[in-house]
Amino acid sequence: MRARMIKRVMALKNDIMEKRLKQSLGIDVSKLGLSLSLGFLTDKLGKEFISHPDVPNDLSGYKEVLKWLKTSVDGTVDLVVVMEATGVYHQGIAHYLYSHGHAVSVMQSGRVKRYAQSLDQRSKTDALDSRMLSMLGLERSLRPWRPPSEELRELKALSRERSSLLKDKVMETNRQGAIDSGVHGNTKALKRHRDRLKLLNGQIAMIEEEMKEIVSKNEVLGRKIGFMMSIPGISFISAATVVGETLGFESITSAKQLTSYAGYDVVLRESGSFKGKTRISKKGNSHIRAVMHMPSMTCVRCNPTLKRFYNRLKPKKAKPLVALIAVQRKLLILMYTLWKSEKFYDAAYETKKQQKRKALAAQDNNLINQLVS
C-alpha cells in the first residue's frame, strides 16, 4: 500500500514537472541577506511560486541557494536567475551562480521599477520584490549577464575613485580660497589645506598611472581605446572612464541603447495643446555624463565637424548648454562606433558621406532622364 502511494505521488510529481515551460528564480538582494522566490510557468500559462527563508549574503547563503535549486527545479526546463543591480551587493551571488552554470540576468533598477509599477503593486517588501523579479523572468525574454573581465572591473573602480577624489579636491580648493579671501587668514589652517590638496593631487596622479598600466597590459583594450583617442579632444582618462563604466560596451547593442544607458535619451512632455520642454532623462549613468562634459567643450573648439554641429544647433536654442549636451551625446556615440568598428577617426567622413549621397542622387536623376527620353 505504501509503495503504491509513493509511486502515485512520484507520478503526480513527474506530471506536474512535465507541464512546466519555464522556471525563474527572483532574488531581492540587500547588504546582509537574499530573499528568494522560485516561479514556474505552466503549459496553461499559469504561474506558481514557492519561497525560501531568507539566506545571508555570503558564501554560506550562496551554497544554500544552490542546494535549494538542485532539489526544487526541473533540470530539463530552462531556469533564469533574475536580480536587480544593487551597487556591489549583487555581485557575489551573481558570480557564484554563473560559475555553477546558471543563466543570470542582472536588471537595471529603472527597468525593474517600471515593471513593478505596471503590476500596480501597493506594498513593498523583500518577499514581494523577489516574487516580482521571478515573475519578470517568466514573462520576459531577458538578456543574459556575463561577468566582466578583471581589467574592466578595476578600470571602473579606479575611475570612480578618481571622480570622488576630484570632488574632494574642489571642496578643499574652495575652503582654501575662503581662507585666502579672509581679512585675518589662519596660516596654520591654510597650510593644512595645502597639504591636503597636495595629497589629493598625488593620489589622483597615482590612480591615473594605475589606469594606464592596466590598459597597457591588455593589447586588445589598449588598441580599442586608441581608436577612441583618435578623436580630437578625447583624452585617455575620458576614453578609459567610458570603457570602464560600460564594461567595454559588453551589454550595449545599439547607439540608442547607449544614449539611454548614459541618460542622454530625450524626454518629451506633450498632451493636447500642452507643449512641455524637451530635455534629456538623466536617468542613466551619471559618471559617463560627468566625464563627457570637458571633452565636449574641447571638441567644439578643436574638432571642425563637432564645431559645425554645435554652431548649427546653438542659434536654435535659448541656452548654449543644450547644444553642448547634444555634442556630448554625438561624441559618445562616435566613441562607441569607433570601439565597435575598430577604426580610427576620419574627420572627412561626414563630407565623404554627403558626397556619396549626392553622387547616388545624380545617378538616379540620370537614370530617370534616360527612361523618360
Residue 371, pLDDT score: 59
| Neighbour-count burial for 293-321, b at 16+ CB within 10 Å, e otherwise | eebbebbbeebebbeebbeebeeeeeeee
Residue 29, pLDDT score: 95
pLDDT at 14 over 90: no
Confidence of residue 20 (pLDDT cuts 50, 70, 90): confident
How many C-beta atoms lie closer than 10 Å to residue 292's C-beta?
Answer: 25
Residue 13, pLDDT score: 54
The gap from C-alpha 136 to its chain's centroid, in whole angstroms, comes to 19
Identify which has the larger pLDDT, 97 or 7. Answer: 97
pLDDT at 124 over 80: yes
DSSP class per residue in 33-89: EEEEEEEEEETTS-EEEEEEEEEESSHHHHHHHHHHHHHHS-TTS-EEEEEE--TTT
How many C-beta atoms lie closer than 10 Å to residue 331's C-beta?
Answer: 24
Residue range 101-126: average pLDDT? 87
Q: d(Cα 106, Cα 140) in Å, to the nearest integer?
A: 13
Residue 27, pLDDT score: 96
Residue range 277-298: average pLDDT? 87
Confidence of residue 11 (pLDDT cuts 50, 70, 90): low
Confidence of residue 5 (pLDDT cuts 50, 70, 90): low
Identify which has the larger pLDDT, 1 or 34. Answer: 34
Confidence of residue 102 (pLDDT cuts 50, 70, 90): very high
Pick the CATH number of 2-139 from 3.30.420.10, 1.20.1740.10, 3.30.450.20, 3.40.50.10090: 3.30.420.10
> What cell does 339 get?
570601439
pLDDT at 247 over 70: yes
Residue 176, pLDDT score: 86
Identify which has the larger pLDDT, 249 or 18. Answer: 249
pLDDT at 307 over 70: yes
Q: d(Cα 286, Cα 207) in Å, to the nearest integer?
A: 20
Residue 7, pLDDT score: 56
pLDDT at 16 over 70: no
Confidence of residue 367 (pLDDT cuts 50, 70, 90): low
pLDDT at 218 over 70: yes
Residue 28, pLDDT score: 95
Per the prediction, the chain carries an average pLDDT of: 86
Identify which has the larger pLDDT, 206 or 119. Answer: 206
Using DSSP, state whether 235 is helix, strand or coil.
coil
Residue range 146-169: average pLDDT? 93
In this prediction, what percent of the chain has a pLDDT beyond 70? 85
pLDDT tens figures, 321-352: 888 899 999 999 999 999 999 999 988 776 66
Residue 15, pLDDT score: 53
Domain ranges of the chain: 2-139
Identify which has the larger pLDDT, 158 or 46. Answer: 158
Residue 10, pLDDT score: 57
How many C-beta atoms lie closer than 10 Å to residue 96's C-beta?
Answer: 17
pLDDT at 90 over 90: yes
Confidence of residue 223 (pLDDT cuts 50, 70, 90): very high
β-strand partners of 40? 23, 48
pTM of the model: 0.77
In this prediction, what percent of the chain has a pLDDT beyond 90? 49
Confidence of residue 185 (pLDDT cuts 50, 70, 90): low
Residue range 264-269: average pLDDT? 79
Confidence of residue 62 (pLDDT cuts 50, 70, 90): very high
Beta strands in 251-294 (DSSP E): 266-267, 270-271, 274-275, 279-280
Q: d(Cα 310, Cα 369) in Å, to the nearest integer?
A: 39
Residue 114, pLDDT score: 86
